[in-house]
Structure 1
Amino acid sequence: MKKLLAVLLAGILALSLAACGGSAEPSSTPAPESQAAPAESGDAAEPAATGAAGKKISILTANLSSVTTNQMCEMMKAGMEKEGMEVTLVDTKGDFGQLASRIEDSVSAKADAIVIVSCDPGQIAPQLQTAFDAGVPVFGCDSGYMEGMMINATSDNYAMGQLITKYLFEDLMGGKGTVIALTHRPHPGVVKRCEAFDDMIKDYPDITLITEQHVEVPGPIENSRKIMENLILSNSAKDSVTAVWCGWDEPAIGATQALMDAGRDEVIVTGVDGNSQAVELINEGSNLKATVEQNFEGMSQIVVDELVKLFNGEEIEKGDRYAPATLITKE
């Protein structure tokens, strides 16, 4: 009996020692939430990065009837929507007073960003200042840049003006003859091209400027066609006009149409933009001989990329951003 009692006591002692030894091993049971390590100070208040998704963007222009302006607006809209942005596209059909009003509307509606397309910010400076004061970022596409804006995606318009003017004066005109200029100086890009033309013609004493004509927008093709028809009447002698220099492609198209209708196939026409209709006329062997193709897709993508960077909290280098351009002649 004593022997049996001793065996039982030994077993109980062994079990007791085993239980004590097990407490030294790490537990596989998760710690209760109340015992979890506290979060770093401020972690719980840090919002998750939302990026561009859901941001409200207003794209505003006064000239959606322009082929290239329409192209840029649609490419930007598609790119922004792909990133999850909500886009409103506004066209005021040449009315800058209405454009100014719609910018104010966008600020009141608390847009997350505004994009102005193919317009001079100087004409809407007070309304843009309202946006700056409200903290609404303003981007430009084929527009000018003014202090307070984020960026303006464009081409180096002065360099393009130099490129097409040099090609016209030297390669097409041979350094002599007469030229008509069709311009639209309210547009900041066209102004830069015109300034290149103004500077360069001084170096060609055997080239004479007959006249510079302002082309109204909207309707630049039809308006330039009418201007050219009148100029043909006042310069009716063959070879009285050597060339027509156009600040962008739509006046070049209108001038070409008028010259072709009048049988004035000796007159050379040049443009700038790389408009598909202009390129087609060049390849058909019409009066239109050359243009400089702007990279509108590149400009549009610059704006989309910079918006995404902004909404992801990245730093934006302010100022003009250039997309490269190319001289286009007959294939």
Structure 2
Amino acid sequence: MKKIIILLMAVCLVVVFSLSLLAVGKDIAVLTPYLSSVTTNTMIESFREEAEKEGWEITVYDTKGDFNELANRYEDIIAQGVDAIVMGMGDPNQLKKQIKMANEAGIPVFGGDAGYIDGIQCNVTSNNYILAAQNTSYLLDKINGGKVVKFYHSAHPGVFKREVVFDAIVDSRDDIEVVAEHFVQVPGPIEDARQAMQSILLANPDIDAVWAAWDEPAIGASLAIQQAGLEADIIVFGIDGNSQALEMIKKGSPIKATVKQDFAAMGTILVEQIKRVFAGKEVSDKIIYAPSILVTESNVEQFITD
């Protein structure tokens, strides 16, 4: 009996050791249309750092907002036979064919702040409904009625959820008027938002606030407001908590609040879930949320790092 127990323990050790060896040397492709975004870059770099500790080879492909090129790169990567694919943001609904191809090739696909559809192992993200509820509610409490400008980007599934929440909350208020909307172009969201805000201000100099679906258009809008000398009259609210937005809140710019997402945590969680799949286990959940927190002038200091 003792010999059998020893033999079973030895077999278990061999299996565990073999699985650990199989996970080393994996080739993982990260594909994104948004690498120029500060937040996308933060998440991907966090993922790369943690993944390389596992001995994985990470290659990042950026199509600079070109979704046709993104689909082509997916097909190229699948043909190369990588061990896993990470969607670095982007809408999986536009890549159903490619995700199906990856599944048929036995390549697991993971979402990093993308979206979830059948065929993806899991999507690691923030709860975008909550993000939008936090910044929209805070904005409307601050102005207590008035004229608002909306900056959005429906092409990103998470950002679209924020827009849906904003619209729903605003529609419930008779004292709020959305006087202008702008679909923000990516790449180059800061400059695009700055130019759009300049034009909006010419037609609507008496607005009260700007709602931006993420920080970069909030930054662009804020710059335009400052250039127009209206920083005392218009407040701006974003989402993400990127370093530039935090600094602008601290310095008293028109940006008064953002909701800070933990993009570094997203990268770490992605690695944990990929490890599970490489080890033959199921992912923890199909959609996994990283934490977030509302940042305002009252607490911004604790989120700024030197």
Unaligned runs of 5+ in 1: 1-38
Q: CA deviation at 1:318?
A: 4.4
Q: CA deviation at 1:165?
A: 0.5
Partner of 2:204: 235
Partner of 1:264: 230
Give the root-mean-square deviation of aligned CA atoms: 1.5
Whether the 8 Å CA contact 2:179–2:204 is kept in 1: the answer is no
1:173 equivalenced with 2:143 (yes/no): yes
Structure 1 segment 248-259 matched on structure 2, within 5 A = 248-259=214-225
Select 1:309's aligned residue among 273, 276, 279. Answer: 276
Q: CA deviation at 1:324?
A: 1.1
Whether the 8 Å CA contact 2:180–2:200 is kept in 1: the answer is no
Distance in 1 (CA, whole Å) between partners of 2:92 and 2:248 is 33
* Identity of matched residues, %: 45
Q: CA deviation at 1:126?
A: 1.2
Partner of 1:130: 101
Distance in 2 (CA, whole Å) between partners of 1:128 and 1:48 is 29
Distance 1:318 1:149, change over 3 A: farther
What is the CA deviation profile of residues 146-172 of structure 1, one whole-angstrom value per residue up to 9, with x for unaligned ones? 1110010000001111111000001x1
Whether the 8 Å CA contact 1:52–1:307 is kept in 2: the answer is no
Partner of 1:289: 256
Q: So what's the TM-score if we normalise by structure 2?
A: 0.90
What is the CA deviation profile of residues 123-148 of structure 1, one whole-angstrom value per residue up to 9, with x for unaligned ones? 12211111112111000001011111
What is the CA deviation profile of residues 174-233 of structure 1, one whole-angstrom value per residue up to 9, with x for unaligned ones? 2x1010000001111111111110111122111111122100100000000000010011
1:222 equivalenced with 2:191 (yes/no): yes
Give the partner amino acid of 1:164.
N
Distance in 2 (CA, whole Å) between partners of 1:190 and 1:213 is 14
* Paired residue secondary structure (1:143): coil
Distance in 2 (CA, whole Å) between partners of 1:278 and 1:271 is 8
Distance 1:52 1:81, change over 3 A: same
1:48 equivalenced with 2:14 (yes/no): no
* Paired residue secondary structure (1:48): helix
Structure 1 segment 101-120 matched on structure 2, within 5 A = 101-120=72-91
Select 1:58's aligned residue among 29, 32, 45. Answer: 29
What is the CA deviation profile of residues 17-75 of structure 1, one whole-angstrom value per residue up to 9, with x for unaligned ones? xxxxxxxxxxxxxxxxxxxxxx99xx7x9792224211110001011110111111111
Bigger Cα Rg? 1
Distance in 1 (CA, whole Å) between partners of 2:110 and 2:224 is 37
Q: CA deviation at 1:118?
A: 1.5
Give the partner amino acid of 2:18.
A
Q: So what's the TM-score if we normalise by structure 1?
A: 0.83
1:158 equivalenced with 2:124 (yes/no): no
Unaligned runs of 5+ in 2: 1-6, 299-306
* Paired residue secondary structure (1:216): coil
1:322 equivalenced with 2:289 (yes/no): yes
Whether the 8 Å CA contact 1:249–1:271 is kept in 2: the answer is yes
Partner of 1:276: 243
- The size of the alignment, in residue pairs, is 285
